[in-house]
Amino acid sequence: MHASGYEPWSAERAAQIIADHQHMAGAAMPILHAIQEAFGFVPDTVVPMIAETLNLSRAEVHGVVTFYHDFRREPPGRHVIKLCAAEACQSVGARALTAYAEDKLGLEMGETSPDGRVTLEPIYCLGLCACAPAGMVNGRLVGRLDTDAIDEIAAEASR
């Protein structure tokens, strides 16, 4: 899940990923997930490749990519911090904690730092509602967050 572990863009590799999944029923979503897992995002150049293979229009594939919050069209920061913004987390102070994290990282929710180091974004529920506030840091689940935990996460993201 760590961005530095992503592969550099390669059309050949993308074509291979598409070929590996094209036999699946309703293949578009599994292909997009696999592309993002490999490259960290879904580059615009891959859209016509998927469209051609699945016999869809570019507009249809573009429509799928842009409908789902998970799919990125730009690379994320090397560290990705997701903080839950849903009701259960709000009931135990997630709003204030999010403001603290924004201040600490110098970023607003949904932003990536200009140096590409860290992305901060909201997530709507990780099912960790009985150990809230919760979040996900570079793919790792974290619960019972407080300002100390945010300080540690920010320190991790400064590396």
Partner 1 sequence: MNSIRIYVPNDATAIACGADRVARALSEALAARGIAADIVRNGSRGLFWLEPLVEVETPAGRVGYGPVKASDVPSLLESGLLEGQPHALCVGLVEEIPYLKKQTRLTFARCGIIDPLSLDDYKAHGGYRGLAKAAEIGPAATVEEVFQSGLRGRGGAGFPTGIKWRTVAATPADQKYIVCNADEGDSGTFADRLIMEADPFCLIEGMTIAGLAVGATKGYVYCRSEYPLSLDVMNKAIEIARRAGLLGDNVMGSGYAFDMEMRMGAGAYVCGEETALLESLEGKRGVVRAKPPLPAIKGLFQRPTVINNLISLATVPVILDKGGAFYRDFGMGRSRGTMPIQLAGNIRFGGLFETAFGISLGELVNEIGGGTASGRPVKAVQAGGPLGAYMPVSQFDTPFDYEAFAAKDALIGHGGIVVFDDTVDMAHMARFAMEFCAHESCGKCTPCRIGSTRGKETLDKIMAGERREANLAILTDLCQTMKLGSLCALGGFTPYPVMSALTHFPEDFGAAPKLPMAAE
Binding site for partner 1 (CB under 8 A): 25-30, 32-33, 54, 60, 63-64, 67-71, 86-92, 123-132, 134, 136, 139, 141-144
Output the CA–CA distances (angstroms, integers) from residue 23 to 11, 17, 18, 84, in the order listed.
Answer: 20, 11, 9, 35
For residue 81, give the nearest of 20, 126, 49 by alpha carbon. 126
Min dist. Cβ of residue 126 to partner 1 (A): 5
How near is the Cβ of 9 to partner 1 at its closest, in Å?
21
Closest CA to 1 of 77, 69, 98, 67: 77
Copy the structure tokens of residue 5.
């572990």
Please compute, for residue 145, the number of CA atoms within 13 A of its CA located in the half-sphere on the CB side: 32
Q: Which is nearer to partner 1, 106 or 140 (CB)?
A: 140
Nearest distance, CB of residue 115 and partner 1, angstroms: 26
Would you say 24 or 106 has its CB closer to partner 1? 24
Residue closer to partner 1 by CB (options 25, 114) is: 25
